[in-house]
Structure 1
């Protein structure tokens, strides 16, 4: 990832009085350009008095919100419409911070903090002073999806990938196990053939269940 993930969602730290972290932290150098993660309206600007320092909140069409904190400069006003990739300010080290970084939080339409980790790489890619408009257009690729839909799509892709890996593991394990048992049968273990047959049947059933037969 372009910028290191320096703080994870939900982690406990004395810096936050052992309260669960409500977002993620990206180790971004001070005064790096920050851009909006989606299309929405600036609904709040933090002026620097609180722990989050200077920052802002963007409300998206589905009611969810993205929160940026510890910024050095906010370049947007409450009520302003922003598009994906639009500059909203500069990263910094304001508020309750132990080093230059960006705090990024995500709230559901119901106002509950949710894990923004699936958006970390996208956020990192559109942040920094080396991003030009052509890169923004290429990175966008959202097809008009809302932030919630994008996060859901990412979660679905991850789940499908895990499912495929488990399927391959199960199918491979049954075949290897059957081969080992056949060898043991040849070596003299009388039950080897029976158990090898069980694993072969299991392999066929798994293929059927996974749509491979």
Structure 2
């Protein structure tokens, strides 16, 4: 489902640009919460009325820098760790802009690369946090993890019960208690 229309593509050479476009522009209402699509460390910049205006950069472990431009405001600060689904700020119309939108770009080894394959993540950014946390611990989903934990708890509880019974049986002075416990369990 396309939630945000791409209004300018990577390397586009529109009449109002003095160089090819370094990202993609996605039309969205001003104030739309913009969320991290990757984990990384935050940098922010405010270019005023030029370039991408208020901009958030996520320096990710994959060596790429993910760029969110023309923001209305920041919800993060320099040096902060970003996690998938964290709100970075809100879409706006800052910098050199013709209307409210998100400029989304990616740099790899200092060069801009086509971010188009990642726009599906921007389209689904409201759903990413749940998806990122539903699959953890070597690919197990939350229900499988709960079932494993309950199974392990049950096994441990059974072993503890058997150990208690063994201790009671070893102690001849509490044979009456052990007889009661054994009759109760059997």
TM-score with structure 1 length normalisation? 0.59
Counterpart residue number, 2:6: 5
The separation in 2 between residues aligned to 1:141 and 1:96, in whole angstroms, is 36
Partner Cα separation in structure 2 for residue 52 and residue 6 of structure 1: 15
When Rg is computed on C-alpha atoms for both structures, the one with the higher figure is: 2
Gaps of 5+ in 1: 145-213
2:38 aligns to what?
A: 38
For the pair 1:136 / 2:128, whether they are aligned, the reply is yes
CA deviation string 1:35-88 (max 9, x = no partner): 011000013333534321111111001221011111100111110101011000
CA contact (8 A) 1:45 1:78 kept: no
- In 2, the alpha carbon distance for the partners of 1:39 and 1:115 equals 19
Instruction: Supply the distance in 2 between the matched residues of 1:43 and 1:94 (Cα, whole angstroms).
Output: 17
What residue in structure 1 maps to residue 113 of structure 2?
Answer: 114
Which sections of structure 2, spanning at least 5 residues, go unmatched? 137-186
Number of the residue aligned with 1:82 = 82
TM-score (norm 2): 0.67
> Does the C-alpha gap of structure 1 residues 62 and 91 become closer, same or farther in structure 2, counting only changes over 3 Å?
same
1:10-89 equivalences under 5 Å are: 10-17=11-18, 19-89=19-89
Instruction: Report if aligned partners of 1:48, 1:55 keep a CA contact under 8 Å in 2.
Output: no
Asked if the contact 1:33/1:87 (under 8 Å) is kept, the reply is: yes
CA RMSD of aligned residues (A): 2.0
Residues 24, 116 of structure 2: 8 Å contact kept: yes
TM-aligned CA distance change 1:68 to 1:6, over 3 Å: same
Aligned length: 135
Structure ranking higher in helix proportion:
1
In structure 2, C-alpha distance between the alignment counterparts of 1:56 and 1:2, rounded to whole Å: 21
Could you say which residue in structure 2 is the equivalent of 1:125? 124
Residues 137, 68 of structure 1: alpha-carbon distance in 2 compared, 3 angstrom cutoff: closer
Q: CA deviation at 1:142?
A: 10
